[in-house]
Amino acid sequence: MPLRHGREHKLHLCFCFEFYVCFLVLGDVIESLAGAILVDSGYDKEVVWQSIRPLLEPLVTPDTLTIHPVRELTELCQKMNYTMKKPLFQNDGGVTSCRVEVIADGIIHQYEHKGFTDRKTAKRLACKGVLNSLQLKETQDK
């Protein structure tokens, strides 16, 4: 199925195909709207920005950007000298499970995600679970 700018997408590779197309179309709508405002305003970029900015709120900045859970957990383990074991994956009848285990100050924090997801998503959700466990421990220690 051809998409914008000649990109092609194979449905069987992405379970979120509808969302992907939705974001492409939304981007096209914003781009067309900005172009129309630019022409109507006599090519005044400030008018375009004032008109489009409310549609883009909240804007992503380095302060509001969230770090991927796998990266966040890996960096936390390196910084705090925690031991992160290699994730364990299983696939049973289309159900993927991933277990992530971290040993922090002698305490084992582990989380296992099971669901109809791919390996990357299962790993991301398992890492998020371990991060939540570590944050809970940190708040209890205070």
Q: Let me know whether 122 and 85 are in one domain.
A: yes
Domain span at residue 21 reads: 4-56
Q: How many domains does the chain have?
A: 2
Residue 63 belongs to a domain: no
Looking at residue 88, its pLDDT comes to 96
Which residue in the block uniquely carries the two structure tokens 């074991």? Answer: 85
Residue 61 belongs to a domain: no
Structure-model confidence comparison of residues 75 and 14, the more confident one: 75
Looking at residue 3, its pLDDT comes to 45
pLDDT tens-digit map of 40-74: 999 999 999 999 999 888 888 888 888 999 999 99
* Structural Rg of the chain based on CA atoms: 22
CATH code, domain carrying 126? 3.30.160.20
Looking at residue 130, its pLDDT comes to 97
Q: Above 80 in pLDDT, residue 142?
A: no
Whole-number Å distance between alpha carbons of 113 and 140: 24
DSSP annotation string for 124-136: HHHHHHHHHHHHH
| Interacting residues of 7 by C-beta distance below 8 A, sequence separation 6+ | none
Q: Give the 3-state secondary structure percentages of the chain, helix then strand then coil, rounded to 5.
A: 55, 20, 25
Which residue in the block uniquely carries the two structure tokens 């997801």? Answer: 117
Q: Let me know whether 74 and 111 are in one domain.
A: yes
Whole-number Å distance between alpha carbons of 99 and 112: 4
Under 8 Å between Cβ of 97 and 113: yes
Q: Let me know whether 16 and 39 are in one domain.
A: yes
pLDDT tens-digit map of 80-134: 999 999 999 999 988 999 999 999 999 999 999 999 889 999 999 999 999 999 9
